[in-house]
A and B are shown apart, each in its own frame.
Chain A
Amino acid sequence: MKITICIGSSCHLKGSRQIVEEMQYLIAEHKLQDQVELGGTFCMGNCKNGVCVKLDEQEFSLSPATTKDFFEREVLTRVK
């Protein structure tokens, strides 16, 4: 599974660094390094919402506060 996080200016200002850090922490905590690949990109063309995150080809809009919830709901359920 690949999670791509937008690190372009707009998302950066909305907290993409915090989301990157949180994701790295959660992946390590659940020992999913072999199953989940993290990557960055500059802009997904959807700057009006929250931080753009892609789970394989599906797009989501996150904030640092909703990251843990997203991880448990979308990521953990798919890797099991």
Chain B
Amino acid sequence: MKNFISGYCIVRDSKINLNGKIIFEQDAELNSFLTNAYRKFNINYPKFFKMDLLCKLAFISSEILLKENNPVNKYKENETALVLSNHASSLDTDRNYFKTIEDKQNYFPSPSVFVYTLPNILIGEISIRNKITGENVFFISEKFNPGLLCLYTNMLFASGNTNCVLAGWMEVDKEKYDGFIYLVEKINPHPVTEHEKDRVSALYYKG
């Protein structure tokens, strides 16, 4: 059964690409880049500032994608699922947390850093923000794997409870970052493209 990609957002190389169009560009380190995007798009969610970089990347990507395409407006809260993935897990934040426990003479583990030492926390942040209560999964893969994402998304659609899926790849490791999120729906009269592995791959690599 066919299903459709309704929109996508890529955050990579100091640019934000929404459905093939560069909507924000700024040469800055990741935290400043994302914070400036937050301000540019008039997002009002103070918890953003408490997030780690991985969650900030996922949050900004999803905010921009869902601004015009929010599934909560169309579907019941439990009909939207999240299928996200990356390679480095939460390693970037794990390193930061380690710094807070490294010195045994000055041992003050930070709870607010610790809570982000799991990659699937970004699913929680997107879910809370958008009141999504459907299925969710976070895969750790060697590299971006559109086949896995498509297979799992189709399986969720086939299970009967899911009508919409937010899927993608959210990677932050040291100075490198790569965010790609897309919205898949069972029904969409005006899709960006059909949802299938090669097309997801083309969007990810070519934008």
A and B, one complex?
A: no
